[in-house]
C-alpha cells in the first residue's frame, strides 16, 4: 500500500480533495486512470467515473467503453458515459483533433460541476506526462507559464498522481492484479507528444543517465518560481486594471520596464497570445496617451477589448450604451459571407436560416459605411423587419419577453447612424432581401463569453 500512501500524502500536502467532495474521475480505461480510480476508492473518497467515447478508433473505442462499464460495475462505482462527434466540433471550431477532444471532454466535465454531479475533477496525469508537456512547450517557445508544466491543481481540476512515475503506476496495477486497456494510438509517432515519449525521452535517458529525474526537479523549481511570479503579477493587475476591467495601457507603457510582459500577463487569462499583445503595443506612439489605432478592437479567446484614449476597454462595457466602438463585420466576433438569392431562398424555405445571423441586401455594404456596436440607450428606435414604422427598442424587448438581466446584455449594431440589427432580438427593415436583390449578405454575431 506504499503507492496509495504516497498519493494520499500528495493529496493532503496540496489540499487537492476534501472528504466532503464528490470527485469526478476521468476514466479512459488506460493504466493511469484505472490506478487513479482505484486509489481514490481505496482512500474512501466519494467518486463518480466519467468516460468519453470519441468513436475515433472503431471497435477499440467500444472495447474501452465496455471495459470501463465492467470495471465500475465490479467496484460499484457510478459511471457516466458521453458519446462525442469530434468531426463536427473540428468543423465548427477549426481545432486540431487533440484540441477538439480536449475541449469536448472539459466542457462536459464543467457542465457536470454546474449540475452538482461532483465538486472537483480528477485526472490521471503523472510525472512523465508533465515532462512531455515541458518539452512540448519548450519547443514552441513558451514562457515560464508553459515551462512550469502542469500544476497539482488548476482551478477545479486536480492531478493526484502528478509526482508518480509511470513505472510506479504500472507496478501498483501489476501487484494488485488490476487490468487496463491500451490505446493503440499511443504508439503512433505522428503525434508530437508520442514522439517525445517514444523517441526523445528514451534517447535522453540513454545518453544522459539521470537527466529525466533532473528535468522533473527543474519543473518543480519552475512551478515554485511561477507561484512567486503570479503573486507579483496579481499586484500589477490591481495597479493597472480598474474595477470595470479597463486596462490602463498608457500607464503600463509609461511606468513599466517590461510593458509587453505586464500586458501579456494581464491579457493571457482572456486568451490573448504574445503576438496579439505586441500588435496592441505597436499601435501606441507614446505622445499624450494617443494611439495610432484608437478605436481598434482586439479579440482573445474569451474576451474582447477596444482601444480608447490609451485604455483597453472590455466590450462588455458597451452594455451601458455610452461607449461605442467601430467594428469590422469581417472580423471576430462577426462573420460575413455572400450568397446568391437562390441559396438564400433554399435556406429560407427549408427553415435553415441561422437565428444568430442577419440577412440583408448586399447594398448594405455600398459606399463604405461605418458599422458601430454599442449598448442600447433609452429612446433608441428602429424600423423592425415585419412591422410598420419605427419602434422603441424597449417595446421590442418587452415583446421578446427579455428579462432585466438579458436587456442589460443587449448590444445594437448601427450602419452609420441607423440601427440595423439587435443580435438575438430583431433585424431592421433597412436593406431587406426583395425580388430586386442581386446578392445576399449573411452577417453572423458570435460573442465571446467570459
187 is in an annotated binding site: no
Q: 31: annotated binding-site residue?
A: yes
User: Is 18 part of any known ligand binding site?
Assistant: no
30 is in an annotated binding site: yes
Give every CB contact of residue 301 below 8 A, 6+ residues apart in sequence.
270, 271, 272, 448
* CA angle (297 as vertex; 294, 299 as ends), nearest 5: 150
Neighbours of 118 (CB within 10 A): 21
CA–CA distances in Å: residue 200 to residues 31, 50, 136, 360, 386? 22, 32, 11, 55, 65
3-state secondary structure the chain: CHHHHHHHHHHHHCCCCCCCCEEEEECCCCHHHHHHHHHHHHCCCEEEEEEEECCCCCHHHHHHHHHHHHHHHHHCCEEEEEECCHHHHHHHHCCCHHHHHHHHHHHHHHHHHHCCCCCEEECCCCHHHHHHHHHHHHHHCCCHHHHCCCCCEECCEECCCCCCCHHHHHHHHHHCCCCCCCCHHHHCCCCHHHHHHHHHHHHHHHHCCCHHHHHHHHHHHHHHHHHHHHHHHHHHHHHHECCCCCEEHHHHHHHCCCHHHHHHHHHHHHCCCHHHHHHHHHCECCCCCCECCCCCEEECCCCEEEEECCEEEEHHHHHHCCCEEECCCCCCCEEEEEECHHHHHHHHHCCCCCCCEEEEEHHHHCCCCCEEEEECCCCCEECECCCCCCEEHHHHHHHCCCCHHHHHCCEEEEECCEEEEECCCEEECCCCCCCCCCCEEEEEECCCCC
CA 13 to chain centre: 29
> Which residues does residue 284 pair with via DSSP β-bridges, in sequence order?
291
100 is in an annotated binding site: no
Give dist(CA 329, CA 161) in Å, integer: 47
How far is the C-alpha of 237 from the C-alpha of 243, rounded, in Å? 11
Nine-digit cell string for 333: 466576433
Binding residue per annotation — 32? yes
Which cell goes with 6? 504516497
Binding site for ATP: what residues are annotated? 28-33
Binding site: what residues are annotated? 28-33
Amino acid at each position: 500500500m506504499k503507492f496509495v500512501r504516497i498519493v494520499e500524502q500528495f493529496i493532503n500536502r496540496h489540499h487537492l480533495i476534501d472528504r466532503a467532495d464528490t470527485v469526478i474521475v476521468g476514466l479512459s480505461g488506460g493504466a493511469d486512470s484505472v490506478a487513479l480510480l482505484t486509489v481514490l476508492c481505496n482512500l474512501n473518497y466519494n467518486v463518480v467515473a466519467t468516460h468519453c467515447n470519441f468513436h475515433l478508433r472503431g471497435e477499440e473505442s467500444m472495447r474501452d467503453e465496455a471495459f470501463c462499464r465492467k470495471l465500475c460495475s465490479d467496484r460499484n462505482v457510478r459511471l457516466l458515459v458521453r458519446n462525442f462527434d469530434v468531426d463536427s466540433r473540428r468543423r465548427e471550431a477549426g481545432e486540431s483533433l487533440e484540441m477538439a477532444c480536449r475541449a469536448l471532454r472539459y466542457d462536459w466535465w464543467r457542465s457536470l460541476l454546474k449540475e452538482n454531479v461532483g465538486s472537483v475533477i480528477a485526472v490521471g496525469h503523472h510525472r512523465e506526462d508533465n515532462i512531455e508537456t515541458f518539452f512540448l512547450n519548450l519547443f514552441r517557445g513558451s514562457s515560464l507559464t508553459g515551462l512550469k508544466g502542469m500544476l497539482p491543481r488548476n482551478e477545479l481540476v486536480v492531478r493526484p498522481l502528478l509526482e508518480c512515475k509511470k513505472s510506479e503506476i504500472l507496478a501498483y496495477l501489476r501487484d494488485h492484479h488490476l487490468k487496463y486497456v491500451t490505446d493503440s494510438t499511443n504508439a503512433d509517432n505522428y503525434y508530437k507528444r508520442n514522439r517525445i515519449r517514444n523517441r526523445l525521452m528514451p534517447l535522453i535517458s540513454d545518453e544522459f543517465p539521470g537527466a529525466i529525474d533532473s528535468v522533473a526537479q527543474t519543473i518543480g523549481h519552475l512551478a515554485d518560481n511561477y507561484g512567486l511570479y503570479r503573486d507579483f503579477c496579481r499586484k500589477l493587475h490591481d495597479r493597472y486594471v480598474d474595477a470595470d476591467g479597463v486596462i490602463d495601457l498608457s500607464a503600463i507603457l509609461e511606468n513599466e520596464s517590461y510593458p509587453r510582459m505586464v500586458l501579456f500577463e494581464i491579457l493571457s487569462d482572456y486568451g490573448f497570445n504574445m503576438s496579439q499583445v505586441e500588435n496592441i503595443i505597436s499601435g501606441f506612439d507614446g505622445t499624450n496617451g494617443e494611439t495610432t489605432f484608437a478605436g481598434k478592437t482586439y479579440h482573445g479567446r474569451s474576451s474582447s477589448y477596444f482601444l480608447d484614449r490609451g485604455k483597453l476597454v472590455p466590450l462588455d462595457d458597451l452594455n451601458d450604451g455610452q461607449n461605442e466602438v467601430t467594428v469590422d463585420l469581417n472580423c471576430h466576433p462577426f462573420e460575413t459571407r455572400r450568397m446568391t438569392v437562390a441559396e438564400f431562398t433554399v435556406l429560407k424555405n427549408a427553415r435553415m436560416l441561422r437565428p444568430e445571423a442577419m440577412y440583408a441586401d448586399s447594398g448594405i455594404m455600398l459606399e463604405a459605411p461605418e458599422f458601430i456596436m454599442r449598448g442600447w440607450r433609452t429612446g433608441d428606435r428602429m424600423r423592425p423587419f415585419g412591422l410598420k414604422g419605427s419602434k422603441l427598442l424597449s417595446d421590442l424587448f418587452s415583446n421578446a419577453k427579455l428579462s432585466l438581466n438579458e436587456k442589460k446584455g443587449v448590444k445594437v449594431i448601427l450602419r452609420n447612424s441607423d440601427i440595423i440589427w439587435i443580435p438575438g432580438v430583431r433585424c431592421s427593415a433597412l436593406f431587406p432581401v426583395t425580388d430586386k436583390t442581386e446578392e445576399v449578405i449573411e452577417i453572423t454575431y458570435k460573442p465571446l463569453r467570459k
